[in-house]
Amino acid sequence: MSRPVKIAPSILSADFARLGDEVRAITEAGADYVHVDVMDGHFVPNLTIGPLVVKALRAYSDLPFDVHLMIQPVDPFVEAFAEAGADIISFHPEAGPHPHRTVQLIKSLGKKAGLVLNPATPVEAVEYLLGDIDLILVMSVNPGFGGQGFISSQLDKIARLRRMIDDSGREIELEVDGGINTRTAPQAIAAGADVLVAGTATFAGGPTAYGANIRTLRGD
């Protein structure tokens, strides 16, 4: 496989009682990103963590923090997460309400900008932002909870986005989040994914298993 695959463990599936240690453990196990799912109980039906937790975790890893904002409205919170230590900030176009403005805000803070597509969000949502974004995140489950099953219709979306990115000539990472495991990871990679977000599949078995879990998902 010519395209290297990155693994971004979602700390949503980590042991929250020892979150700092978990972030250190996945870093030492060979993860590429630390994926942080931020949910507001409004845009999605769950509550998770805020900027203070991201800031506290920053000391436990030098990996890029890949922060997925499932919050609405999103703009008022972008700066706080940037200051807390996020390296990549991704948001949903539905949470804007002006996605181009949100992308420009993220970039103005010196961070990489990502756009997130829910299962029913069409690929056309990214078309006029390809010149500005650094990452596209395809949700292969409906956002809000960990441990859901992979929605196979998203494989076609991943493939279409792969072609759009390649045709653009830009270095845009294509990330997939939701239901990633030893069965679905190869499917997502074959469709064109660069980055796999994996919560349950990474954190299964405790810290001594994290390295093997990550290597298996990557296809090493």
Q: Was 144 annotated as part of a binding site?
A: yes
Q: Is the full-model pTM beyond 0.75?
A: yes
145 is annotated as contributing to ligand binding: yes
What is the predicted pLDDT for the residue at 220?
A: 85
* pLDDT attached to residue 144: 81
Could you tell me the CATH number of the domain that includes residue 115?
Answer: 3.20.20.70
At 166, list the tokens. Answer: 């390649």
177 classed as catalytic: yes
Q: Is 41 annotated as a binding residue?
A: no
Q: Check residue 145 and give its pLDDT.
A: 74
Q: Is 147 annotated as a binding residue?
A: yes
The candidate with the shortest Cα–Cα distance to 126, out of 155, 134, 179, 7, is: 134
199 marked as part of a ligand binding site: yes
In-domain check, residue 136: yes
Exactly one of 32, 37, 66, 194 is catalytic; name it.
37
The response to whether 35 counts as a known ligand-binding position is: yes
Domain enclosing residue 13, as ranges:
6-218
Tokens representing 162 are 């792969």
What pLDDT shows up at residue 1? Answer: 42
Burial 183-201 (b: 16+ CB within 10 A, else e): ebbebbbebbbbbbbbbbb
Strand partners, 6: 195
Q: Which of 40, 75, 134, 177 is catalytic?
A: 177
> What local confidence, expressed as pLDDT, does residue 165 receive?
98
User: Based on the structure, what is the number of domains in the chain?
Assistant: 1
What are the per-10-residue average pLDDT scores of the chain (220 residues)? 85 97 98 97 93 98 98 97 98 93 98 98 96 97 84 97 97 97 97 97 97 95
- Residue 101 placed within a domain: yes
Tokens encoding 177: 């989040």
Q: Residue 37 catalytic?
A: yes
Quote the pLDDT of residue 2: 57
Rounded distance between C-alpha atoms, residue 112 and residue 171, angstroms: 12
Residue 1 resides in a domain: no
Q: Is 146 annotated as a binding residue?
A: yes
pLDDT number for residue 96: 78
Residue type, 187: Q
